[in-house]
Amino acid sequence: MHETHFDGCGNYQKVDLSSKKNISSNIDFDVDAIYIFSGKTGTKAGFDEYEKYIDVNEKYLLNILTCCAEVKTKARIVYPSSRLVYKSSEYPVNEESNLDGKSIYAITKIASENYIRLYSTVFGLSYNIFRICVPFGSLIQDVKFYGTYEFFLSQAKSGKNITLFGDGSSERTFTYIGDICKVLLDVPLMSISENEIYNIGGDNRSLLDIARVIATYFNVGVDFIEWPIVDKRIEVPTIKFNFAKLNEIYPYKYHMLGDCVMQTINP
């Protein structure tokens, strides 16, 4: 954990998640919801750092869940998962679609989802799992953010052509960070959502669509390059979300990516 915090807020408590004793001493379990945002991300890096990925993404989560079970917390456990748990599909995937982890990271996310469901079944913990496809944007002024969209933006701002693996036809559901925060804040407080998994919605676009929007604004080009062998083998080519399940209980108008371009370029 950083010693200082990007948002300037002071209401943080440093917790050693490798220690159940430290967790029990520093986390208030008498709350409405416990958000588990700790984790290690990245697909390719997991093969070099698999021990860290398993420790941080699985063991630390189990420590938190164990402490929650010991105190019999009534809090809703809120866990953000990933598009990478799904098997690639030309059709929008729903929460019941096939899972197929193609990286260490993805497998730890699948395992973590199962741990949470297990602790709910055995110890009665209440939970929500939210699968997020591709988040973009930042709510904190002058703070860099990372991901597919942000990589394109960084290249274009530097006056470089945007590079795309393959032909750019791969599709994703892009979700503005403000929309993600809204869903994560509101839905876990609804009794109807208890112990459910939800895809968070957004704007379904191809990577080429996104690259062209940014390239046009900065007057740069788009270059197509071949997939590196390892990257191609671990990538999930096309994943778009079907988010009808969430919309049934929480109708929400997501920001379309085109409407947010100016805001994310000039926050």
CA-wise closest residue to 86 among 135, 131, 54, 41? 131
Confidence bin at 12 (pLDDT 50/70/90) = confident
Compute the distance between CA of residue 210 and CA of residue 164 in angstroms, rounded to an integer. Answer: 11
Compute the distance between CA of residue 165 and CA of residue 143 in angstroms, rounded to an integer. Answer: 27
More confident residue, 184 or 156: 184
User: Is the pLDDT confidence value at 257 over 90?
Assistant: no
Contact criterion met (CB below 8 Å) for 213 and 261: yes
pLDDT at residue number 121: 99
Least confident of 35-49, 132-146, 176-190, 249-263: 132-146
Phi, psi of 28 (to 5 degrees): -85, 115
Range ranked top by mean pLDDT from 36-40, 68-72, 263-267: 68-72
Tokens 């730890």 appear where?
108
CA-wise closest residue to 25 among 63, 52, 74? 63
CA-wise closest residue to 260 among 228, 213, 224, 199? 213
pLDDT at residue number 4: 62
pLDDT at residue number 261: 67
pLDDT at residue number 265: 62
User: Is the pLDDT confidence value at 31 over 80?
Assistant: yes
Least confident of 54-63, 111-120, 158-167, 246-255: 158-167
Predicted confidence (pLDDT) per residue in 136-160, tens digit: 876 555 445 556 788 888 888 889 9
Question: pTM for the whole thing?
Answer: 0.91
Domains of the chain, with CATH numbers?
A: 20-265 (3.40.50.720)
∠ CA 73-70-77 to the nearest 5 degrees?
40
Three-class DSSP category at 31: coil
Compute the distance between CA of residue 81 and CA of residue 39 in angstroms, rounded to an integer. Answer: 10
CA-wise closest residue to 125 among 190, 75, 198, 187? 75
Q: Which amino acid is at 176?
A: Y
pLDDT at residue number 264: 61
Contact criterion met (CB below 8 Å) for 192 and 128: no
DSSP state of 55: I
Polymer length of the chain: 267
pLDDT at residue number 3: 58
Contact criterion met (CB below 8 Å) for 169 and 90: no
Tokens 């954990």 appear where?
1
Compute the distance between CA of residue 32 and CA of residue 78 in angstroms, rounded to an integer. Answer: 10
Compute the distance between CA of residue 157 and CA of residue 219 in angstroms, rounded to an integer. Answer: 10
More confident residue, 127 or 257: 127
Confidence bin at 1 (pLDDT 50/70/90) = very low
Parallel, antiparallel, or unpaired: how do β-strands 171-176 and 203-206 relate?
antiparallel
pLDDT at residue number 149: 80
User: Is the pLDDT confidence value at 177 over 80?
Assistant: yes
> Which residues lie below 8 Å from residue 50, measured CB to CB, with a gap of 6+?
104
Predicted confidence (pLDDT) per residue in 40-77, tens digit: 998 888 999 999 999 999 999 999 999 999 999 999 99
Compute the distance between CA of residue 54 and CA of residue 68 in angstroms, rounded to an integer. Answer: 20
User: Is the pLDDT confidence value at 175 over 90?
Assistant: yes
Predicted confidence (pLDDT) per residue in 225-234, tens digit: 998 899 889 8
